[in-house]
Amino acid sequence: MGRVAAQMGSASVATPDPSAAPLPPRPRRARSVGHRGRGPTGPGLPVLVIGSLMLLIITMLGVERLTGLSLLPDRFIAGLAPPPKDFPLLAASEPVGIEIGRIDLAAPVHNVGIAADGSIAAPPAERAQEAGWYDQGPTPGQYGPAVIVGHVDTSTGPAVFQDLRELRTDDRVEVARSDGTVAVFEVDRVGRYDKEQLPADDVFGDFSRPQLRLITCGGRWVGGQTGYADNVVVFASLVEAR
């Protein structure tokens, strides 16, 4: 998302095109978003593995609830119990839009999958003003971390997540869903990480409650397959549904 790693800088995220790139430059090192030129790159093989585990865990938890059988070891599911009743929990429904009042952002959301290099695919350069929901993970409002990525900029100017780094604790993020509901999240924290040191467990493995992760590129522009040196990650939790 660079010039976004599909979202950031004079060049963007991490794709062969200088104005858009796959999320992380070296996906196998769990870079969530990266570049090749000005384009986005995303998390690689470790993220893919985590995503598969996420789906497996969700499935097994569902079977446990329906049958009463214990399929997962107690120590393995510590912290994965259903969220307290005062936390909303929504059925699956794909996101169609995102609004963040704090940074005056209102944008469509479309689906993105896995790029050829195994990373999270970045939105194409011509859709740099849209965000992309990683469709191999939970939908916003479901149990676990839903992931939405976006470019920070392109070779022609700012992109959808240009001001993501300005978010602060308790800022609200509203995600409109295809079933007509809106999932409202509150920001817990905002982190910036070297793409070689992205905390994959925190970003993709937190199943303590319905979560949201917003990811773009940041830091200095280094070019090549990396694009921007860092990823900016917003961590948020579901607090309301309407």
Give the single-character DSSP code of 167: -
Distance of CA 204 to the CA centre of its chain: 8
Q: Is residue 18 part of a domain?
A: no
Beta strands in the chain (DSSP E): 95-100, 105-112, 131-134, 144-149, 153-154, 157-158, 172-177, 182-194, 210-223, 227-241
pLDDT of residue 48: 56
CATH code, domain carrying 77: 2.40.260.10
Q: How far is CA 83 from CA 120, 137, 191, in A?
A: 27, 18, 24
Give the mean model confidence (pLDDT) for residues 152-175: 95
| Distance between CA atoms of residues 234 and 148, nearest Å | 10
| Distance between CA atoms of residues 29 and 26, nearest Å | 6
Give the mean model confidence (pLDDT) for residues 219-223: 86
Q: Is residue 32 part of a domain?
A: yes
pLDDT of residue 141: 97
Residue 234 has pLDDT above 60, yes or no: yes
| Distance between CA atoms of residues 240 and 242, nearest Å | 7
Q: Is residue 71 part of a domain?
A: yes
Residue 130 has pLDDT above 70, yes or no: yes
Q: Is residue 4 part of a domain?
A: no
Q: Is residue 92 part of a domain?
A: yes
Give the mean model confidence (pLDDT) for residues 59-86: 51
Confidence class for position 47, pLDDT limits 50, 70, 90: low
| Distance between CA atoms of residues 45 and 61, nearest Å | 24
Q: Is residue 2 part of a domain?
A: no
Model confidence over 178-193: pLDDT tens digits?
Answer: 999 999 999 999 999 9
Instruction: Look at the chain and report how many structural domains it folds into.
Output: 1
Give the mean model confidence (pLDDT) for residues 20-41: 40
| Distance between CA atoms of residues 106 and 195, nearest Å | 27
Side chain identity at residue 185, one-letter code? F
- Mean model confidence pLDDT for the chain: 77
Give the mean model confidence (pLDDT) for residues 115-125: 86
Residue span of the structural domain in which 90 resides: 27-241
Q: Is residue 89 part of a domain?
A: yes
In the structure encoding, which two tokens stand for residue 171, read together? Answer: 């800022």
Residue 153 has pLDDT above 70, yes or no: yes
Model confidence over 187-212: pLDDT tens digits?
Answer: 999 999 998 888 999 999 989 899 99
